[in-house]
Structure 1
């Protein structure tokens, strides 16, 4: 929980964000609290504003449904312009940790595409 100075604008992440499966959530431990992430990408995740304060660095551990071990490290908490949530940006993940997150995001993207295709074909009668 070290204070940090953030010089980058909080204009949003540049990676594709996915929403975790509500039936198989990502469990996050941050600042001594257990919570669920709102969305996750290769660069970070979002949390409700009441969980952490923006402008600080926090240790975290998250249990991805697709990983055998928790991914742990540090995130920088960035404010959302609207104040609805906090964007947490991963700091110095190992290649293995990054790969676990990439694999999870890719899996969720594929699930979302399949869901869109199946709902689109049933509504059009194909």
Structure 2
């Protein structure tokens, strides 16, 4: 079962994030490394990688299954003591890229809801 989480950033804004479909993963490319995304939203993502260092900014490219083109830009790797995974925040994405990410999250939310409906006994 997929879960949908809502995180609140220091700015007070809320961001919905979803786990990518395991059969259609979201792949992050940084410094020539391909990194599987664990969770993604319009403001950032969570990834497990020994290649990223907390407190650094990295140029990235990411393939989102619902997009025709990869999204490219910068991410900041944020400290998060609650998890061994790395929390990354997108930096200054274009409005079009943010819309692409919102669309992907919405598609995954609909898939999760459909999955819950289909698994509920009638």
Task: Place the TM-score, normalised by the shorter chain, in its bin.
Answer: 0.7 to 0.9
Q: How does 1:28-107 map to 2 (within 5 A)?
A: 28-107=28-107
> d(CA) in 2 for partners of 1:44 and 1:116?
26
Partner of 2:74: helix, strand, or coil? Answer: strand
User: Could you list the runs of 5+ residues in structure 1 that have no partner in the other structure?
Assistant: 1-8
Say which one has the larger Rg. 1
Gaps of 5+ in 2: 1-8
Deviates more, 1:78-87 or 1:53-62: 78-87
Describe the superposition over 1:10-48 as per-residue Cα deviations: whole angstroms up to 9, x where unpaired.
8xx831110000111111101321111011011100111
Cα distance between partner residues in 1 of 2:49 and 2:62: 18
- Residue 51 of structure 1: how far off its partner (Å): 3.0
TM-score by length of 2: 0.85
CA–CA separation in structure 1 for the residues paired with 2:84 and 2:55: 15
Structure with higher strand content: 2
> What is the root-mean-square deviation of aligned Cα atoms in Å?
1.7
Query: Across the two proteins, how many residue pairs are aligned to each other?
Result: 112
